[in-house]
Amino acid sequence: MKLHLPLTSLLFSLMLGGCGMTGLNPVATDNSTERDLLVWWSEGYYPEETDAIEAITRKWEKESGKKVDLVFFNDGEISQRATQILNGGPKPDLMYGYSVGDSHGPTFAYKGFVVPTDDVINKFIDDYSPGIIENITFLNKSSGLRSPYSVPLSVSSAYIHYWKDLLQEANNTELDISIPDTWNEFWTFWGDNQQRAIDAGFVDIKGIGLPMASSTSDTHILFDFFLEAHGAKILSDDGKLMLSDADERSKIIAAMKDYISFYKKGWVSKKATEWGDVDNNIDFLSSLSLMTANPTLSIPGSQTADEVAYYERIASVGWPKGLDGEPVRTDISVKQMFIFDGAKINEAKSFARHLIKPENLSRYVEGSQGRYLPVSISILENPFWNELRNTHIQASRETVNNYKLAYQIYNPAYTEVRRQNIWAQAIQQVCENGIPVERAVDNAIDSIESIFKKWERS
């Protein structure tokens, strides 16, 4: 039996995102044009990310003669700051947070907290990958118009990783094992191989590492793939809820039964109802699950220092086809920077233009160790993103290319559904409390309809 990764080394890289350095002076902006440009930024998961943004900032200061107060927050803190802004709290001139675009961006734009960015990104408009501009184009309530309201820096989706060598051991072979690409057969494959792995001596292993908790955004994100595979549609193309449609309700129930069935069959850890954002990573990297899915490439990214682990032991594969036999489309998460309305708009736009110059943006995105993909077609042509033996980046490119617009793009009210983790709450209720899936879905539908009604009145 082969040795598996020591938990101490992987914990360090994973926890960087959960306890990043917090800036010492996160003061509110004021209307003074004399003060420094205030930038709030997500602390990098890797030192190279933080080093890159600091170097890019210092270079802009030297070229512009302006000063920047660059303040770092961990991802949880910067999301909290974004919520506080919506509630009237202090705001910076520029903000970048890994999850802020998905959870707060459309609301920022709708309520007029941030400014349009056409004049920042237009120079590079033809170089953005398909889907990027559409996923940063939000509605503004006052104007009734849709415009790009952020500066895209990178993009990700959710990816599937598995232990290639452990799967071979479970099947007593050194040959590559073919993984089904049809929906039901794909998931049954991992359940079947759970028992083979146990018989091979991995007594604590589970076949599937999907979260079942409302304490992590991963559950909501991954469940969306099941909704898509079952053909369920939450919103129409004009942003109207479709949850009162009996056919859509039936599809949602079928998708949730599908997702939860792995937990009920014992293919998923009983602790999955308690997982936070990094726990499925830790579970997988501790060889406690054969496969997992994750909304970034942080799992293989944490192993880049170990070429054997990165290239030979851990592999990535695309999502299986949906029940209709067609590829499952995916939400893409654009990592985006926002420029807030205030006294420093012109300086903030100058900083943004500097950052997205190809030589600067390439350095920053590559600093993520491939955790996120570039939004730029030309940067994607760099050798870093085209190594054929790198199944992780190749699978992620395939997944991102098969994109669909996220629901919060159609209607900003859905950002509140995401922030409250409504679907994840329903999943956890079924797993922990044993309530019928139909009732959990109806509770979720009631909550979502209430959110939309409240939003319409605001």
384/373 Cα distance (integer angstroms): 11
423/260 Cα distance (integer angstroms): 12
7, pLDDT greater than 70: no
271, pLDDT greater than 60: yes
85, pLDDT greater than 70: yes
Q: Please identify which residue in the block is written with the tokens 């995401």.
A: 418
Q: Report, at the CATH architecture level, how domain 12-155+333-397 is classified.
A: 3-Layer(aba) Sandwich (3.40)
Which residue, among 126, 150, 153, has the nearest Cα to 137 in the 3D structure? 150
5, pLDDT greater than 80: no
pTM over 0.95: no
In this predicted model, what pLDDT tens digit does every residue of 119-138 receive, in sequence order? 999 999 999 999 999 999 99
Which residue, among 36, 430, 448, 398, has the nearest Cα to 232 in the 3D structure? 448
20, pLDDT greater than 70: no
Query: What average pLDDT does this structure show over 6-23?
Result: 42
Per-residue pLDDT at 234: 97
Per-residue pLDDT at 33: 64
Yes or no: is domain 158-330+420-457 CATH 3.40.190.10? yes
Query: What average pLDDT does this structure show over 66-84?
Result: 95
The residue ranges of every structural domain in the chain are 12-155+333-397, 158-330+420-457
340, pLDDT greater than 80: yes
Q: What is the percentage of the chain residues whose pLDDT exceeds 90?
A: 86
- For the CA atoms of 426, 430, 436, 437, what is the dihedral angle to 10 degrees? 50
Q: Please identify which residue in the block is written with the tokens 């360090």.
A: 12
What is the residue-averaged pLDDT of the chain?
Answer: 92
In this predicted model, what pLDDT tens digit does every residue of 43-74 receive, in sequence order? 988 899 999 999 999 999 999 999 999 999 99
pLDDT confidence band for 368 (50 / 70 / 90): confident
Angstrom CA distances, 359 to 71, 363, 376, stand at: 23, 6, 11
Per-residue pLDDT at 44: 87
Determine how many CB atoms are found less than 10 A away from the CB of residue 16: 21
pLDDT confidence band for 3 (50 / 70 / 90): very low
Q: In what order do the strands lie in the sheet with 289-294?
A: 206-209, 289-294, 159-163, 314-317
Asked if 12-155+333-397 and 158-330+420-457 have one fold, the answer is: yes
DSSP β-bridge partners for residue 321: 182
pLDDT confidence band for 31 (50 / 70 / 90): low
Residue 119 structure tokens: 């004049």
Per-residue pLDDT at 369: 82
